[in-house]
Amino acid sequence: MPWSLIGLKSLKATLSRMIHSARFPHALLLTGPRRGGKFTVAKDLAKALNCLEPEPDASPCGVCLSCRKIEEGNHPDFIVKRPTGLSQSLAIDDIRDLIRSLGYRPFEGQRRVVIIRKADSFREEGAGSLLKTLEEPSLSTVLILTALSESRVLPTLVSRCVRLRVPPLARAEILAALKERKNLTGPRAELLAGLSGGALGAALEWPPEEAWGRWASLDQLFGQVIEGQALGRKAVLDFTATECQELEKLKKLDQEEAKKAEEGQETSGHRQGRYTRLLEFMRLWWRDVLVLAVTRDKNRLAGPAASLAQRKWATEVSPKNLTARLKELDYLEDNLRRLSQSELVLTAYWLSLVNSLGPK
């Protein structure tokens, strides 16, 4: 079985080289977009370092006892830590326990592999105890830190790690993967590829029909605005109601997670304050309109083929105005996050969009 990742040839070559070399680094920092495969790479490395029958390119076989145990998460030398609780940082006690356990030899594997997710959430005190471990590495332990970007991780940690970036995939690679794994092609696949920002995990997490329905209803409303039609009151209300329902759900989930964290229970890993799904659609929609307006090149679109509404906006509105529409979304996101009256915020958005075209 080759490396689990799709594409990323040069990253895979680097992994193979690292494992073949006599000195595998004792600490790695993997960075890359959310849901972009960092954990997959880390797990692959854990398997490869312990595989009983590795492939010639050093990738793990995927079927030996050790590989299977790691896949199922019950290998005693495969440890995954992620921040929990309200502060979303690793508890200091947790780190101390971890470090203590690293003093022992691996139980059954050749190398103990410790994955620390969201290393960007480390505070100084937690990092301090880990630094010592990074400075006095044990030959039998490999620490793999993952984070969105290097700049978000404490420099003292970064400087002690070998850094590897898991880059976003090209659009064509995401499309190929959607076809292979979900048998999904056409506009729906193109939409998911556009929403994913090059992170395969993100492309796979959207239910295609739901995503497409949302895209179509947004597109319809934007179309009505540029056509100078009075925005269908019902359409806006329906749209707003659906979005507000989701916002409410997410906010509630936030509260539940916060409560669980307070009580010391395990949380689901739901990202707090993530009211951005609607915004992801809107950003993609306006981004493609702007690209179309500036380049007139449909091959540069990130989402599905341009709709009538997108083409109309692109030809009838100045790029300057379109850039403002894209920027406006930051403001909208901020308001949705801060204010409790989501309905009001969304309705105001549509009004201001109509006004942005000036008098007809």
Q: Enumerate binding residues for Zn ion (CB under 5 A).
A: 51, 60-61, 64, 67
CB of 18 to Zn ion, least distance (A): 17
Given a contact cutoff of 8 angstroms between Cβ atoms, the answer to whether 132 and 106 are in contact is: no
CB-count exposure of residue 214 (10 Å: 0-12, 13-18, 19+): buried
CA dist 231 and 33 (Å) reads 37
Please list the residues that pair with 1 across neighbouring strands. none
Q: Nearest approach, Cβ of 50 to Zn ion (angstroms)?
A: 8
- The Cα–Cα gap between 28 and 129 comes to 17
What is d(CA 351, CA 326) in angstroms, rounded to the nearest whole number? 16
Identity of residue 47: K
Smallest distance from Zn ion to CB 16, Å: 15
Burial 183-194 (b: 16+ CB within 10 A, else e): ebeeebbbbbbb
What's the min distance (Å) between Cβ of 106 and Zn ion?
Answer: 16
**Residue nearer to Zn ion on the CB measure, 63 or 92:** 63
Are 289 and 219 a contacting pair, CB within 8 Å? Answer: no
Is residue 146 classed as helix, strand or coil in its secondary structure?
strand
Query: How far is C-alpha 312 from the chain's CA centre?
Result: 32
We find the least distance from the C-beta atom of residue 51 to Zn ion, in angstroms, to be 3
Pick from 160, 103, 158, 157: which is nearest to 126 by CA? 157
Tokens representing 22 are 């006599």
Closest to Zn ion by CB, 61 or 244: 61
Rounded to whole angstroms, the Cα distance separating 256 from 262 reads 10
55 vs 328, beta carbon nearer Zn ion? 55
Min dist CB 43 to Zn ion, Å, is: 12
Phi, psi of 153 (to 5 degrees): -100, 145
Looking at the Cβ atoms of 90 and 115, the one nearer to Zn ion is: 115
Question: Which of 324, 318, 325, 293 has the alpha carbon at shortest distance from 306?
Answer: 293
Q: Which is nearer to Zn ion, 44 or 120 (CB)?
A: 44
In the bound state with Zn ion, the residue whose beta carbon lies nearer, of 75 and 188, is 75
> Considering beta carbons, is residue 64 or 357 the nearer one to Zn ion?
64
Quote the least distance from Cβ 53 to Zn ion, whole Å: 6
**Which residue number, 52 or 294, has a Cβ lying nearer to Zn ion?**
52
Residues 24 and 82: beta-carbon distance below 8 Å: no
Q: Which is nearer to Zn ion, 71 or 94 (CB)?
A: 71
Q: CB of 64: closest distance to Zn ion in angstroms?
A: 3
Taken in order 40, 43, 49, 50, is the CA torsion positive or negative?
negative
Closest contact distance (angstroms) between CB of 198 and Zn ion is: 29
Distances (CA, A) of 348 to 100, 217, 330, 344: 55, 18, 14, 6
